[in-house]
Structure 1
Amino acid sequence: MKKTRYYPFERNRYFYGKLLTVRDFESEQKYFNDKRRMMNRLLHGSGVLTGLQVVAVDEKSVSVEMGAAIDALGREIVVPSPMTLKLSMMDGFSNNEYAKNVYLCIAYDEKEKEPVHAVANSSVRSDEINDYNRVLESYRLFIREDAPEPAKLPLANLTDQTIVLYQDAHVRVLQTTPRYVNPGQLFEMKLRFEKTLRVGRISFQYELAADRVEAIDGNSILFEEPQDVQESEYEMSVLLRADSSVGVKATIGVVGSTAVLKLDDKQLELQPQSVGEIQVIGDAVRERLMTDFVKQSLEASLEAPSEPCIYLAKICLIQVGPTYVIESVEQVPFGEYVYNSSVMYRLARTNEYRDETSGQFVTKSKVKTLAPGQPPEFKVNFNKAISELSFDLGIPAGGGSGIAGIVSGVVNIPVEPFTKISVSPFGKATKSFFSGEILHGLGEGNVLIITSLEESSEDAFSDILSSGERVYGGASDVFKGTEFEPDAPEVKIGTIAYPQKGTFRIGVKVQQTSEPSNVRVRWWAYSAEMASAVSASAGSDSLDEALSAMREAASAGSGTE
């Protein structure tokens, strides 16, 4: 099957006395196959549906487990039973060099089976004529020794652009940047280094050629492979900020004269590289990406190679004497998966949480001098889209800052079903659940911890009303029985601080629940100096007023987009 265009559709029209030939029956099959395959391609995409794990069974062979996939032409590929294959016996595997990375691929295939006597042909030929009675929809497994071009992978350019900075038989350096960013937005450029094992330790140094973007940590880029580990793939991120202009094109590349790429002490010769392009737009990036996707032509949506395949595994080989040994197997190295709607729904309903002990925020601050006698000013803004926390501080002339800081984060506390643990005087079963120790990052000493219950809704109506995200302060049960009632179980939240360790723990007491869930708690940690500054900026003389002022600042910080 060489063509990628299924339409226009044409089906048989039957009438009494119609003479049916082979062409009619083939047309009948083609009509239903083409429609199904086009819908597969448009509705589901291409990639692994389930199974098809690749496992090294010994030093020279792999096993492909049973599973199913859809290729780029919408054809179903089913592996009904595990297959064990020796790499050197597979199509595409060459014996010229063993220290390399190879890719195990699967493709749709058809095989004719069940030979039978062809009665119609016996009238015109004297010898016995056989033909095949069935076509078995099958698959074929083969090896590709070259990595695919990034632009040719399914949906490769939908959200990002990947360009090749360097490539040879042993090393490939890729640069990935987003297609769209907003003015002033912080974003990441990713550099990916792919190499064969034991080819030497890679290092890459160059000056960033950037137009309409700036590197937060400077234009000098340096990557050195770690000494204590050796992998076949590494990735590093470079934090950049977009220009404040709207409707401009930013470019990112390499200043060629400054680039030095080495394997151990051997310097590789770099050729002129491509340049990555980023559009700086004023509207929402997600909406622009979706608009690009739905507005593309039908032919562009169905575009695919005439002989597509799915990359099931990257197999890293090392040379041992005159032969090879399988060192490692990486599953589906280019992320070619298909997720069904049920899985996507459950993933959307699951509250992802960030491990606050390892999460990273980008912070920026601005200090201005106010006229003498004016009250101090303190504003906190948190842009969740780019994880940027900004502080604006106004200090009266002649005053000192003395402000240590404020940190914020979110923790998900798993809640398991239970029936009766402890019963309150009102007859409700309750149980307490606790987070692990959370490092607040303000150092040793006393801190003030403020907590709130946080929820997010995935329905479109809430998005339209900008009420999809909600942060409940104080007792959330005051909203019970109203349209503002939280979806989470009724909880009480408490905290324990460990001043000598610079950590704290959050606990929730939950009333009886029948299904597992997560209670999402947002927290703010204030140092003593920061609490005093916020209290002064609000003109408060009591602890309650100071807490109220800090909650207002915290709410502003968590709600600003």
Structure 2
Amino acid sequence: MSELPCDCTTDPLERLRYFSRQLLTADDMRTEQAYFREKLRRHNRYLHGWGVVCGCTVEPVDKAQDWTVRVCPGYVVDPQGDDISIDRCVSVDLKLGAIPEPCIVRWPCPPVGEMPGTGSRERKAYIAVRYAECHSRPVKVHPAGCGCDETSCEYSRIRDAFEIKVLWTLPDSHVAAHKDDEAWRDTLLKSPPELLRRLLTMPAPPCPECVSDPWVVLATVLLPAQDAAGAAGSGQAPLQVSYADRRVLLSTQRLQTALLSLT
């Protein structure tokens, strides 16, 4: 898996200026890719925001696989502006230990943080996803010298992928987003004339900061009670899935449909 920065790029963007007989290197090609990628990330963050656009439902699996949930396909934009496409169902075992990297097998990673103790009243697990890049399609590289045994391989592609984890605490990005949503909700609850007046006279809001936490919570899972030994209770209560902590990003299509339904 390729290395990704933990925050957004703040350096001025540069793109190539082509001219005749120019010598181009791999660094030049990477700069060209980085320019358009960062432009798209800024577009997503500033114009659309972030959250779950569609799909990504989380459902418990049958009791034969206790403490296992299934993440269904969907589309997400993360707080850093990267879009995530989950193209197949992924099973997540909440008690799973070490597992392969997401680029080897599309699978969740070990839980992050400390699991709530046995005496905790609310034992929640947050199913979260983030963008990941995977190297793919290795090819042979021609030797630089004249030797016969200098053939090596390099990956020729980078595949857009995703990584799913179990978090025991709500990410800071979601805590801050909930406060912003509550402020906007108070404005939207005004009467229509007052709401329109506020929107027309409201100054341009500050640009949102690009947080270093890239996780997007898909669902909150309430864990069953445990006995003194730390194992699941004998009643085998089913897992309860809630979307109370999920941040939804309304697409233009959904907003148009909602407005047309009001006319």
SS for the counterpart of 1:157 is helix
Partner of 1:52: 56
CA distance in 2, matches of 1:48, 1:181: 23
- TM-score (norm: length of structure 1): 0.37
Pairing partner for 1:97 from 117, 128, 137: 117
Partner amino acid for 1:35? K
SS for the counterpart of 1:336 is coil
Partner of 1:311: 217
Partner of 2:231: 323
**Contact kept in structure 1, 2:7 and 2:213, CA below 8 Å:** no
- Deviation of 1:39 after TM superposition, in Å, equals 1.0
Partner of 2:247: 336
SS for the counterpart of 1:18 is coil
Once the two structures are superposed, residues 191-241 of structure 1 have per-residue CA deviations (whole angstroms, 9 ceiling, x without a partner) of xxxxxxxxxxxxxxxxxxxxxxxxxxxxxxxxxxxxxxxxxxxxxxxxxxx
**Contact kept in structure 1, 2:174 and 2:247, CA below 8 Å:** no
Aligned residues: 233
- Deviation of 1:117 after TM superposition, in Å, equals 2.4
Pairing partner for 2:137 from 107, 110, 114: 114
CA distance in 2, matches of 1:12, 1:64: 41
Pairing partner for 1:294 from 191, 204, 211: 204
**Contact kept in structure 2, 1:6 and 1:35, CA below 8 Å:** no
RMSD after superposition: 3.4
**Residues 417-456 of structure 1 aligned to structure 2 (within 5 Å):** none
Unaligned runs of 5+ in 1: 162-176, 186-282, 352-456, 458-561
**Contact kept in structure 2, 1:159 and 1:289, CA below 8 Å:** no
**Residues 70-469 of structure 1 aligned to structure 2 (within 5 Å):** 70-89=77-96, 90-92=109-111, 97=117, 100-119=123-142, 128-149=151-172, 152-154=175-177, 156-157=179-180, 159-160=182-183, 178=186, 284=194, 287-288=197-198, 294-296=204-206, 300-301=207-208, 303-321=209-227, 322-324=230-232, 326-331=238-243, 333-351=244-262
Partner amino acid for 2:216? I
**Residues 473-484 of structure 1 aligned to structure 2 (within 5 Å):** none
Partner amino acid for 1:17? R
CA distance in 2, matches of 1:95, 1:295: 38
CA distance in 2, matches of 1:120, 1:66: 43
**Contact kept in structure 2, 1:72 and 1:304, CA below 8 Å:** yes
CA distance in 2, matches of 1:128, 1:145: 46
CA distance in 2, matches of 1:56, 1:291: 47
Partner amino acid for 2:15? R
- Deviation of 1:97 after TM superposition, in Å, equals 3.2
Change (3 A) 1:318 1:291: farther
CA distance in 2, matches of 1:328, 1:181: 31
Change (3 A) 1:102 1:95: closer
SS for the counterpart of 2:180 is coil
SS for the counterpart of 1:117 is strand
SS for the counterpart of 2:179 is coil
- Deviation of 1:9 after TM superposition, in Å, equals 2.9
- Deviation of 1:44 after TM superposition, in Å, equals 1.4
- Deviation of 1:146 after TM superposition, in Å, equals 1.5
Change (3 A) 1:56 1:158: closer
CA distance in 1, matches of 2:165, 2:174: 22
Partner of 1:492: none
- Deviation of 1:10 after TM superposition, in Å, equals 1.7
Pairing partner for 2:25 from 6, 21, 24: 21
Matched, 1:42 2:46: yes
CA distance in 2, matches of 1:24, 1:150: 34
- Deviation of 1:290 after TM superposition, in Å, equals 6.8
**Contact kept in structure 1, 2:130 and 2:214, CA below 8 Å:** yes
Q: In terms of Rg, which structure is larger?
A: 1
Partner of 2:106: none
CA distance in 2, matches of 1:19, 1:319: 65
CA distance in 2, matches of 1:76, 1:124: 44
**Contact kept in structure 2, 1:121 and 1:129, CA below 8 Å:** no
Structure with bigger helix share is 2
Task: Considering Cα pairs closer than 8 Å and 6+ residues apart, tell me whether 1 or 2 has the greater RCO.
Answer: 2
- Deviation of 1:64 after TM superposition, in Å, equals 0.4
**Contact kept in structure 2, 1:6 and 1:38, CA below 8 Å:** no
Structure with bigger strand share is 1
- Deviation of 1:160 after TM superposition, in Å, equals 2.0
Query: Among the aligned pairs, what percent are the same residue?
Result: 22
Unaligned runs of 5+ in 2: 97-108
Once the two structures are superposed, residues 167-192 of structure 1 have per-residue CA deviations (whole angstroms, 9 ceiling, x without a partner) of xxxxxxxxxx948999xx9xxxxxxx
Partner of 2:104: none
**Contact kept in structure 2, 1:77 and 1:138, CA below 8 Å:** yes
Partner of 2:15: 11
CA distance in 2, matches of 1:295, 1:56: 40
Partner amino acid for 2:90? M
- Deviation of 1:53 after TM superposition, in Å, equals 0.4
Change (3 A) 1:78 1:8: same
- Deviation of 1:330 after TM superposition, in Å, equals 0.7
Once the two structures are superposed, residues 120-171 of structure 1 have per-residue CA deviations (whole angstroms, 9 ceiling, x without a partner) of 556699654322111111110011111345874437326529xxxxxxxxxx
CA distance in 2, matches of 1:37, 1:160: 25
Change (3 A) 1:30 1:155: farther
CA distance in 2, matches of 1:19, 1:120: 20
**Contact kept in structure 2, 1:158 and 1:293, CA below 8 Å:** no
- Deviation of 1:317 after TM superposition, in Å, equals 0.6
CA distance in 2, matches of 1:120, 1:286: 67
